Amino acid sequence: MSLEAYSRTKDGGTLLSPNFRVREFACRDGSDPVFIDSALVDLLQRIRDHFGQPVTITSGYRTARHNAAVGGAAFSQHCYGRAADIRVKEVAVDTLADYAETLLPGTGGIGRYPEKKGRACGWVHLDVRAAKARWTG
């Protein structure tokens, strides 16, 4: 894996893989630059290819300030460009997480955020940290 820095303004439309552009990973506070780990892009592309459906990144890279504003964990993997919260069209949270499990055996982070009261739709957090982490939020 390697961490790359991009400019949201200059590189926003740049394709990182067949289906993912730089801007999809940009911090939602609108800031530049955007840090993205290439291993994360590879992981998401494999998921896109497997399900054959659009993958929506609801949160990718986060600045420390934005991470704090959205209540992210201290030292969140999002702040290192290694994490994305995603949904896949017509794919349930557990189905998505179970497939991600096959791509991250003994490594990386997988957080399941199922639909529940007050949460209109679920998502899965994925990250490419070296250690293994699993949780349900």
48 binds Zn ion per the rule CB under 5 A: no
Both ends of the chain: CA-CA distance in Å? 27
- Return the residue of 48, 62, 82, 125 that touches Zn ion, per CB under 5 A: 125
* Nearby residues of 62 by Cβ (< 8 Å), 6 or more positions away: 27, 28, 29, 70, 72, 76, 78, 79
Closer by beta carbon to Zn ion, 87 or else 125: 125
Contacts with Zn ion by CB under 5 A: the residue count is 2
- Return the residue of 11, 24, 37, 85 that touches Zn ion, per CB under 5 A: 85
| Cβ atoms of 43 and 35 closer than 8 Å | no
Q: What are phi and psi of 32, to 5 degrees?
A: -120, 150
Closer by beta carbon to Zn ion, 9 or else 94: 94
Query: Least distance in Å: CB of 26 to Zn ion?
Result: 15
Pairing relationship of beta strands 108-113 and 132-136 according to DSSP bridges: parallel
Query: Least distance in Å: CB of 48 to Zn ion?
Result: 18
Binding site for Zn ion (CB under 5 A): 85, 125
